[in-house]
Each structure stands twice: as C-alpha cells, then as structure tokens.
Structure 1
Amino acid sequence: MKANHLDRPAIAPLPAIDRARQVTEALASYVQRASLKAGDRLPAERELMTALAVGRSTIREAISHFQALGVIETRKGSGTYLLKPVSSATIHMPLSFDPVHLRDALLQTLEVRRGIEVEAGMVAARKRTAEDLVIIEAKLVEMERVQILKGAAGPEDLAFHLAVYDATHNPLFKQLLEQMREAFERFWTHPFDRLDFARRSFPFHRTLFNAIVAGHPEAARLETLKILEIVEEDIKDMSQ
C-alpha cells in the first residue's frame, strides 16, 4: 500500500542567505589572496560596497565582526587596517553546538555564560573609566525604555552586556562572545516564544551598573549572579 503523500514531512524552506557572513568570508579570502600583512590598509567602505554589491550596513556589520575578533582597526579619517593576518579557514571558528532541545542548549550555554559574565562584571568594576560609565548607562537607559514600552528587550539587553564587556578593556571577553554569538543570542530572541522570559531580571541590570559605578567587584559579581539565576529559573519553568 502506497503511503499518502499528505503523511510525508514537509520540505523545510532554505534559510535566508547571511549577507554579512558572506562579506566576512569574502574579505578574509581577499586578505589571504592579496597577502596582506599587519599594518596594511583594507579597501575603502564604498569600494567594498561596489565590489561586493551589498549595502553599507552589511559592510559595517562584517567590519564589526572583524573588530570584535581583534584582527582589524578603524582609524578615523584614515581607513581600516589589518592588525593580524586572517584567512577564510581561520576567521570562522564558532564555538557552537546543536542539541535537540532548546532547554538543553540554553542551560549548557548558561553554564559558560555565567563564568564569563560574572568575571566580566568584576573586571569592569575595577577597570571602568568615566567614558565607559557613560556608554553603559546609555545602553541601560535604552534597555529600560524598550522594556517599559514593549514589555521586553532583546538587542538592547545584549548591547548593555556588550558595553560591560568593553569596560573590562580586555578584548578576549568580546572575542569569546563573538565566537559563541549564535549560542548566546538565543537568550535575547525570546526563547519559548515568551516575551516575559527573564523579565524579572531587569531591575538587577540597574543594580549591576550601580556596582560597576561604585567600583565594587564583589557587588558586581552578586548582581550578575542574580540576573543569571532568574534566567536559569525561567529556562526550567518555561520549558516544562
């Protein structure tokens, strides 16, 4: 007896092409083929837009990826320069995994996130500058504004944590996040289709900021743990 075609699983649609990733790979390939060395200048933004047939925002997203990895720097009024040689084989080494259940993915990633973010908060409390505090507070205020307006914040919450990473003045924190971006971003895309995911943690972002302002690493550690404890509780509660 022939199986009814209606019983067959649907063919999943192809994922959208990640233009920024394609640009990143094209740039890495260009650096390798052109044998560029540390200190060499990369093509101008407009030249890249024309050559790769993409918009300015895509070019800038790719450039930001390279900056986060610490392999290029942009000098105002001068251009973008290579700090370290890269290739298409080395620029993408994401630390990711693909467990079957979202619950497992979030809990396993949280174990790593806890170690990184607790330490980042403590280092930021010791090394932050006045300029860092202005940037962190701006990100915090925007996060709080979106939270009040929409009842949830995604990219704004991530931007706050990235600002704390920057305040450590240790590029390895941000590089680690960049390598684990795919796994980490699950926390800021409303897992389980719940806009209230980790909503109870929002007040502790303000107290974390206060601890960093005060220069108290231990207080920063405790406030970060409060945030992540709520995240863990919501993962377990909402995945039942």
Structure 2
Amino acid sequence: MSGSVTGLPRLPPANRTRDAINVIAEYISRTGLKPNERLPTEHEVMAALGIGRSTVREVMRHFQALGVVETRRGSGSFLLKPVSAATVHVPLSFDPGPVRDGLLQTLDVRRGLEVEASMLAAVRADADDIAKMRATLEEMERVHLEKGTAGREDLAFHLSIYDATHNPLFGQIMEQMRGAFESFFEKPFDRPDFARRSFPFHRELFDAIAGRDAPLAREKTLQILAIVEEDIKDMSK
C-alpha cells in the first residue's frame, strides 16, 4: 500500500472506517493481491490514509469477520479470499422508519444473537478470550465512570463475547448489521443516559461466562436487554 495507495487523498473524519474498508478492498482488487499474500502493515495503512490505529484495527476486524483476511501474530494480516469494494459490504435491508421502531426491531435480533452467544461463550471461551473480554469490560467501566456513557466500549465488550463463541458466523452477521447495532450507541433520543442502568450487569455477565455458567450468562444477557427495551419505550414517549 505504500506504493499507489499513498497517492490517495486522506479520508475525511466522517465515516472513516467504512471509507477505509472500501479503499483497502479496492486496493486488494486493483493490485491483484492473491490469497496468502500479506496486506500492508498497520503503520503503512495509517500513513497512507491518515487514520488512527483503532480505525485500522476496526477495518481488519471487518475483513476477519467476513472471512477474507487472517491476522497472524507476529507476521501481519494475510488475504484469504479475493475481495473488492463491490463485494466487501453485503448490507441487510433495514429501513425502520422511526428511531423507536428501528431500535426495537434491532433489539429483537440482538436478543436472539446475544443470548445464544453468551451461553456458547460460557462453554467455549479459552483463556485468551476471557482475558480479552476482561480488558474490554474494564475499558467500558473506565469510560462509563469518566463520562457516564460508554457506547463504543460497550460494543467492543459484546463483540468480544461473539469472538469467544469461536463461531465466525456470529461475527459475520454482526458486521452486516453493524449500522443498525451501532444506533444503540449514538445517544438515542439525545439521551446520554440511554441504557445506563444496564452497565452493572455487564460485570455480572462477564463473571458468569468466566465461571462457565451458561444459564446465568443467559439470564444476565436478558437482564441487560430488558433494561435497553424499557429505556427505548420510556425515552421515546
């Protein structure tokens, strides 16, 4: 990417992740990168596109969830399957209308996915998964105490649970619904306290997964989502 891609204009602040996904997918297609060939390093992508490390890692996560890129510790990221800007997004049809209706529709899907993911994580998570989950939880709690809200950090915690299932389909479904799911974390109804009451239950959910208690993990996930549903209904009146 340090060749032709460095000549591309830097990405604007808005929608940097999606723009970077498109640019890198186009780069892969245009340069004819083959499976098992290494992608540019984080530093090369950061320098070429003028984006931060967190954005680069979010982009790589998207490609990993789609099963087209594999990151190998100490070696970098490698292409597994051909991809292009035209095929890297396969968005689900989602036109909910009012914010309240859209959030409730998305919540139905979240409930189905997250209850099952939490139970599977309690059975399948290994030591690395638990460590990652703990780190994302602690970061979520830190930001929550500092700012009173922690939307993106909350999302990162839930993504770590999906990862702990060791079923890539969870991640792929999540990537296709990312836009809808992220609507939960953009101050719905202009209320920064949206779902704030659910934060203490995240620690209890982590403890249940780490303790290999699948039924309790299910219960805690449902408690979190019940609070979210209550806030959607109360704050949208």
Shorter-chain TM-score tier = 0.7 to 0.9
In terms of Rg, which structure is larger? 1
Alignment match of 1:55 (pick from 34, 48, 51): 51
Tell me by how many angstroms 1:97 deviates. Answer: 1.7
Amino acid corresponding to residue 158 of structure 1 in structure 2? L
Q: Distance in 2 between matches of 1:37 and 1:193?
A: 46
Q: Does 1:132 align with 2:129?
A: yes
Preserved CA contact (<8 Å) 2:100 2:232: yes
Note if contact 1:107-1:232 (Cα within 8 Å) is conserved in structure 2.
Answer: yes
* Residue 9 (structure 1) aligns with: none
- Which residue does the alignment assign to 1:187? 184
CA contact (8 A) 1:71 1:86 kept: yes
Q: 1:78 to 1:130 in 2, by over 3 A?
A: closer
Q: Distance in 2 between matches of 1:17 and 1:94?
A: 19
**Selected match of 1:201 from 175, 198, 206:** 198
Q: Is the 8 A contact 1:96 1:180 kept in 2?
A: no
- Percent identical among aligned pairs is 60
Please tell me the residue identity of whatever aligns with 1:128. Answer: A
Give the CA RMSD over aligned residues.
Answer: 2.2
Residues 194, 53 of structure 1: alpha-carbon distance in 2 compared, 3 angstrom cutoff: closer
Displacement of 1:53 in angstroms is 4.3
Deviation string 1:34-72 (CA, Å, 9 cap, x unpaired) is: 33332122234455456x543353544433321232211
Following TM superposition, by how much is the alpha carbon of 1:16 offset from its aligned partner in structure 2, in angstroms? Answer: 6.3
TM-score using structure 2 length: 0.85
Q: Is residue 20–residue 49 contact of structure 2 (8 Å, CA) maintained in 1?
A: no
> Are 1:158 and 2:155 an aligned pair?
yes
Whether the aligned pair in 2 keeps the contact of 1:73 and 1:82 (CA below 8 Å) is yes
* Aligned mate of 2:171, from 168, 174, 191: 174
Is the aligned partner of 1:37 residue 2:9? no
CA distance in 1, matches of 2:224, 2:163: 19
Please give the residue correspondences for 1:5-44 in structure 2 after superposition, counting only pairs within 5 Å: 17-44=14-41
Higher mean C-alpha displacement, 139-148 vs 163-172: 139-148
In 1, Cα distance between the equivalents of 2:149 and 2:76? Answer: 38
- Local SS of the residue matching 2:123: helix
Partner of 1:222: 219
Aligned-residue offset at 1:169: 1.4
How far 1:187 moved relative to its partner?
Answer: 0.9
Distance across 2 between alignment mates of 1:134 and 1:53: 31
Letter aligned with residue 151 of structure 1: G
Q: Distance in 2 between matches of 1:212 and 1:60?
A: 25
Code of the residue aligned with 2:23 in structure 1: it is A
What CA distance in whole angstroms lies between the structure 1 residues aligned with 2:136 and 2:75? 28
Normalising to structure 1: TM-score of the pair?
0.84
Number of paired residues?
Answer: 225
Query: Where do 5+ consecutive residues of structure 1 fail to align?
Result: 1-14
**What is the aligned counterpart of 1:72 among 53, 62, 69?**
69
Match of 1:200, as an amino acid?
Answer: R
CA contact (8 A) 1:45 1:56 kept: no
CA distance in 2, matches of 1:40, 1:96: 33
Does the alignment pair 1:86 with 2:83? yes
CA distance in 2, matches of 1:89, 1:45: 23
Runs of 4+ in structure 1 off by over 6 angstroms are: none
